[in-house]
Structures are given as structure tokens and as C-alpha cells.
Amino acid sequence: MGIIISRSYQPDSLMMMLFLISLYLLVLYFEGSSTKRLLSAAILTGITLLLRPLVIFAVFCAFLAFSIYRNQSWKKIIDLPLVIFGVVSLFPSILYYGYGILFAGFMRWKIATSFMPYLLVKKDFWLGWFNNVVGVAEFTPLFLAILGFFLVRNRQVQYLIVGLAVGFVFFSVTFTYHIHTHPYYHIQLFPIVGLCLAPCIVSIVQSLRQVAGKFWWMPVVGAFLFAFYIGYREVRGSLYQTRLEDPSVAWEIGEIIHHSPRTVYVAFYYSIPLEYYGEFGGAPWPVRIEDGFYRRLGERELSVQERIAGLSFEPEYFVITHFDLFVRHDQDLQSYLDINCKILAQTDRYLIYGSCQSLATVENPLGALTVWSEN
């Protein structure tokens, strides 16, 4: 999983690297408290959260866990170091994300699409959460990690593991949509499982040294090579299976639509590769929500016209490259475009509509219902 996410456009690998360094600096601070070490940990944590704030619960729960261990009391959990750490580490994120949510508005959609608390009472949510946990960390390491936690002799490490686990729980009930649908949202389990596996590995190696004598290293190396081979097969088996538009095709589309910044598309992976290689902009057509599982109370479905009005720009072109999605889920859009727009280009790779009537005045000819929205 670590290798696979490193090939993504998203900065999760970088987030995990900075997160682990932040935890290491916290360990150094609590081993020998000093203002310099506290500020170092807070500054790097601030950079981590600014990059991707998904680890906010884990890093703060780890800090609180260390504080409880050091003070041996819950009563002194809020102290000056915690205040300094919180102010310094949260300040950059509050500025950026606060501006994006409260003023500019470009981050509001993330809150609406991430936090769906009504999912917490549904069984399928927890089944999806559990399946992703097992899928990312694997069943055997998870089982050994549970046993290994009780083999950890260092109390401070135990407190750290508990803090990270509590942070992961808070993270799970906050990002309710992604946590049960996106496996890579579970990569915060890696340091938890790794810390718990360490004493298991030590115990196994010590047993091998007693049984195999001076040749104890041979089964260890053999197990490592076997694990490396299995990992290699897993990664190679998952690469190059993603369906994306060919860069030359994307550029050809960009030329046809004159690299317009007002394009709507039905394409693969939120249209990001298509935009990148075609050098044009716009927005993907809102994905139709057919499963009532995600429906909020008091919501209705939007028509095609209402969805177009919600794009914040009047489209010049409609580009379709994901034909399967277009045929299965966007029949209403297809009928709308056939009636109100002209086909500019059509091949087995793409379909481009343009020269549409004024989208501000055209009524939806089907009265079709598509996505959910609050009344």
C-alpha cells in the first residue's frame, strides 16, 4: 500500500513521512523537555497539517498520551506546552482552511462530502470500515499486533499506541464517507501496527536464536525475502490496471475545444488526468448518487438543469470519455445534450458536445432526477 499510494497524485505518502517525523520529534521532546524541541515538533506538525490535515487527531492524541504518561494524571492534561504546541501547529492550517471554508468557499464541499454522521448508525458503514482495515493492514499482522501490544514493555510506547489508536477512532467517525469507501484513508494504521509488531518480531528472533544457534539469521533472511517477494507480486499485480485517457488523446481533445476553461466532462478519476494532459479546465459532471445509503434526511434529487446551474460557470463544451459511466448513470444528461447541443467530434475514444443553447434558459426536457440536494 505504501508503494501504491506513492504513485498517486495525492500527497498521502508525503503526509505519512511528515507525520512519522512529527511523532519522532514528540518522542524527543517528552524524553528531554525543552522549548527548542517543543517548537521543532510544533512547527513540523504545522507543516504536516497544512499539507493534509487528516492526521490531526492522531498527532494530538499522541501528544495528550505522552502528557498523561509524564504527569501520571488526567487533571494536568491541559498545560502550557499543550497550548504552545496547539497554537503553533494549528495556526497555518486555520489560516488556509479557515479562509477556504469561511470566505473563499473552495473547501466547503470537502466538509459536506467527508462528514456524514448519519452513516455511523448503519451496519454497512462499519462493514466497509472493517474490510478496509483488514485490506490495508492484512489480517495476520493485525492479529499479531493485538498480541504484540501486550508484549510491549515500555509504558511510554504503550501510551503512544493507545493515543494513536484513539486518534484513528476520532478520525474514522469524522471522515465517515471516505473511511469506509477509500482504503488508503487507513494508512494511519501503519505506525500503530508497526509498533505493536516489533515485540512479536523480537520474540520470534530470540526463539530462533535459541533453537537454530549461530544459523538463526538464515530463517530470518528467508522470511524477509519471502515477504519481499509477496509484496512485489502484490504491487506489480495492481499496477498498470488503471484505465486513463491516453495523453495524446487528451491533447487532441484539448485542441478541439481550444483548451477551454469552461468544460464539463464525464471521464476517469474526476477528470484530473484528462485536464492535465489536455491542458484545459472546468469541472466533472456531478456523479449520480443512486444508493439511498448516502441520502441525507430531507433531501431531494436535482434535475440536469439544476446541476448545470450549480457548476458556477456556463459550460462551453461537454466531453465524454468514460462511456460506461455515461451510459449507465447519465442517461438524463445524454438526452439533454442530444436535444440542446451539437456533436462536435465523435470517435471510439471520446464524444464532444458544443454549440449548446443558452443553458440559463433551457428547461430540462425530461424533468430527470439525478443527484441529492437539501430542500
Q: How confident is the model at residue 106 (pLDDT cuts 50, 70, 90)?
A: confident
What pLDDT, on the 0 to 100 scale, is given for residue 77?
Answer: 84
- Give the residue-averaged pLDDT of 12-20: 96
Least confident of 101-110, 255-264, 360-369: 360-369
What pLDDT, on the 0 to 100 scale, is given for residue 367?
Answer: 37
Residue 241 has pLDDT above 80, yes or no: no
- Give the cell for residue 193: 501496527
Residue 316 has pLDDT above 80, yes or no: yes
What pLDDT, on the 0 to 100 scale, is given for residue 288?
Answer: 63
Residue 365 has pLDDT above 50, yes or no: no
What pLDDT, on the 0 to 100 scale, is given for residue 240?
Answer: 64
Strands of 342-346's sheet, edge to edge? 282-284, 263-266, 317-320, 351-354, 342-346
Most confident of 268-272, 274-278, 325-329: 274-278
pLDDT digits (tens, 9 = 90+) for 318-335: 999 999 989 988 989 999
What pLDDT, on the 0 to 100 scale, is given for residue 298?
Answer: 67
Q: How far is CA 200 from the centre of its chain?
A: 30
Helix, strand or coil for residue 266? strand
What pLDDT, on the 0 to 100 scale, is given for residue 244?
Answer: 80
DSSP 304: H
- Give the residue-averaged pLDDT of 146-157: 94
What pLDDT, on the 0 to 100 scale, is given for residue 84?
Answer: 97
Helix, strand or coil for residue 15? helix
Least confident of 249-258, 339-348, 354-363, 366-375: 366-375
What pLDDT, on the 0 to 100 scale, is given for residue 214?
Answer: 86
- Give the residue-averaged pLDDT of 265-288: 89
- For the residues of 62-130, what is the DSSP string, one character each? HHHHHHHHHHT-STT-S-HHHHHHHHHHHHHHHHHHHIIIIIS-TTHHHHHHH--GGGGG-HHHHHHHH
Which of the pair, 296 or 310, is modelled with greater confidence? Answer: 310
- Give the cell for residue 119: 452513516
What pLDDT, on the 0 to 100 scale, is given for residue 291?
Answer: 65
Residue 358 has pLDDT above 60, yes or no: no
3-state secondary structure 312-373: CCCCCEEEECCHHHHHHHCHHHHHHHHHHCEEEEECCCCEEEECCCCCCCCCCCCCCCCEEE
Q: Is the distance from CB of 332 to CB of 304 less than 8 angstroms?
A: yes
Most confident of 10-24, 110-124, 285-299: 10-24
Residue 91 has pLDDT above 70, yes or no: yes
Residue 300 has pLDDT above 60, yes or no: yes
For the chain, counts of helices (H) and of strands (E): 17, 7
- Give the residue-averaged pLDDT of 1-6: 84
Q: How confident is the model at residue 190 (pLDDT cuts 50, 70, 90)?
A: very high
Average pLDDT over the chain, rounded to whole?
88
pTM for this prediction: 0.80
Q: How confident is the model at residue 373 (pLDDT cuts 50, 70, 90)?
A: very low
Residue 172 has pLDDT above 80, yes or no: yes
